[in-house]
Amino acid sequence: MKTFEYDRLKAVLYARRWAFSRNPQYYSFDGLGGDCTNFISQCVFAGAGVMNYTPVFGWYFRTPSDRTASWTGVQFFYNFLTKNEGEGPFAEEVRPRDLKIGDVIQLGRATGDFYHTLLVTGFRFGFPLVAAHSYDAFDRPLLSYSFEQARYLHILGVRKDAPQE
């Protein structure tokens, strides 16, 4: 297993392309609890280029009924990114000033319940701009959201099985 760079620009370009529509290769979860983490998983996959097909604890989407909870669930996505030691992207929680484009922000309540996932698409005056589904957005200022807490995930890289030489 080798570690590769996460392609941040590909993630942001994917977000720009699909922020206000839905990619027909994926199911839209708009009417089933929201599409935000599904969309951000698609963006991160565009930048990572590999899924983790480990049953239950991996991160993948084949069909609406053949996917991991981490592909669409806010907390499961966080758990995967921060604990992944196998194939796919991996991340660490950082301070807001350490974010880069293509990183992930999750919004939460004071109770510690996180409910929304966003992709960093840029910065304005040092503050993040984001893309999202459920409430479709691209380059929306993070400060325009109402939330009680946030966590900031910097994607460190992507692990892939390297071809044998």
Cα angle for residues 49, 53, 58 (degrees, 5° grid): 95
pLDDT tens digits, residue range 128-151?
999 999 899 999 999 999 999 999
Percent of residues, the chain, with pLDDT higher than 90: 87
Q: Which residues pair with 128 in a beta bridge?
A: 123
Whole-number Å distance between alpha carbons of 95 and 154:
9
pTM to 2 decimals?
0.95
CATH class of 2-160: alpha beta
Of 48, 111, 117, nearest to 78 by C-alpha is: 117
pLDDT tens digits, residue range 94-129?
999 999 999 999 999 999 999 999 999 999 999 999
Whole-number Å distance between alpha carbons of 61 and 44:
13
The token pair that represents 137 in the structure block: 């957005």
Those residues whose C-beta lies under 8 Å from the C-beta of residue 48, and which sit 6 or more positions away, are 6, 7, 11, 88, 89, 155, 158
pLDDT tens digits, residue range 64-88?
999 999 999 999 999 999 999 999 9
Q: What is the identity of the amino acid at 77?
A: F
Collapsing DSSP states into helix, strand and coil, what is residue 56? coil
Whole-number Å distance between alpha carbons of 151 and 54:
25
Per domain, the residue ranges of the chain are 2-160
